[in-house]
Every structure is written in C-alpha cells, then in structure tokens.
Amino acid sequence: MNELKIEEFVIKEFFLYLLYTSEANGGEFEVGGEILFIQVLDRLKLEGEGDVWETDLKKGVPSISQEAKRAILNGKMPSFMKLKVKSGEDEFIFSLDSKSLELKSLKIPAVAINEVGIKLEQRLFYIETIYFVLESLFKEFFKVRTNNEMWQKFIDDVKAWAKEI
C-alpha cells in the first residue's frame, strides 16, 4: 500500500495556520458547515535555525505570548502544540507533533453509557470525529497554501499579527 508522505515543513505551516487562524478568528473555524472553536492550550514549541533554534512555551496562553510572536518573526515555526477543539457540546484535547503528525494524549468527551459495546462504539465515533475534523482543517489549509495570492496574504497577516507585541 502506498503511503502519502507529507514533508515536515508543510505540517509546520499547517500548525502556523491553526495557531494564527485560531487567534485571528477568536478560535472560530468553519468545517463542513459546522462552527468549531479551536484554542492552543498551555504547550507550544517553535523551531527554527540559528543560535537558539527552539522555543518551548509552557503554561499560560503561549499562542498569544510575546515570546511566540518574536519566535515567529525570527522565522521559527510551530512544531508541537496542545489543542482544544470544541464542536457543539463535545470537547477534545490533544497534542500534535510535526515529526509524526500523531495525536497524543487524546481526551475525548466522556461517554455516560455503561453497556460495553455501545460505550466502545461511542468512543470510536469520537476518535473518528476528531480525525475527520483534522482532515477537514488540513484541506482548508491546503486551499490557502496552494493559492499563491491567498498564501501571500496569509503570510502578510501573520507578520502583522506577530508584530503586535
């Protein structure tokens, strides 16, 4: 079976898209006609080149910190982030790493059903849901990334936002 390989720099650009768009839109994203709220939580790592090639921000709200914005202005890109995704009443919390693009420490909504078979089915539904959400977000990012005009506007907007220190 052929496996699609996405270069890590594209994943980091996707993370930047999530970071900036969540801040610029108050966390609001539209996915498949549904409004989602996405927030970068208390863990954000940015990587780049040079003397200080890694900035690891923990606690507080690292996505809007001066350190994060300075790191972005200095060419660093998000490589690890902890996210909260809220869809209706359902809330998911997880971490993403640009090296593997695996969901780590996934917390799904509690399932208040005691029957084992139905409970497992509901948990699998939630896992499938968050993968669908991430795939849909990536498709939205890809539309921007593959359109030169939209990508340049995005880069300009990120730079302007990052300069708001």
Residue 97 confidence class, pLDDT cut points 50, 70, 90 = very high
Q: Residue 139 — φ and ψ, nearest 5°?
A: -65, -40
Reported as a single tens digit per residue, the pLDDT across 116-154 is 888 899 999 999 999 999 999 999 999 999 999 999 999
Residue 62 confidence class, pLDDT cut points 50, 70, 90 = low
Residue 50 confidence class, pLDDT cut points 50, 70, 90 = low
pTM of the model: 0.89
CA distance 107 to 58: 19
Q: In angstroms, what is the C-alpha Rg of the chain?
A: 17
- State which amino acid sits at residue 116: V
Would you list the DSSP string of 27-72? TEEEETTEEEEEEEEEEEEEE-SSSS-EEEEESS-GGGSHHHHHHH
> In whole angstroms, how far apart are CA 125 and each of 81, 82, 93, 106?
24, 21, 16, 14
Mean pLDDT of the chain: 88
79, 15 Cβ separation under 8 angstroms: yes
- State which amino acid sits at residue 55: T
- Specify the pLDDT at position 33: 85
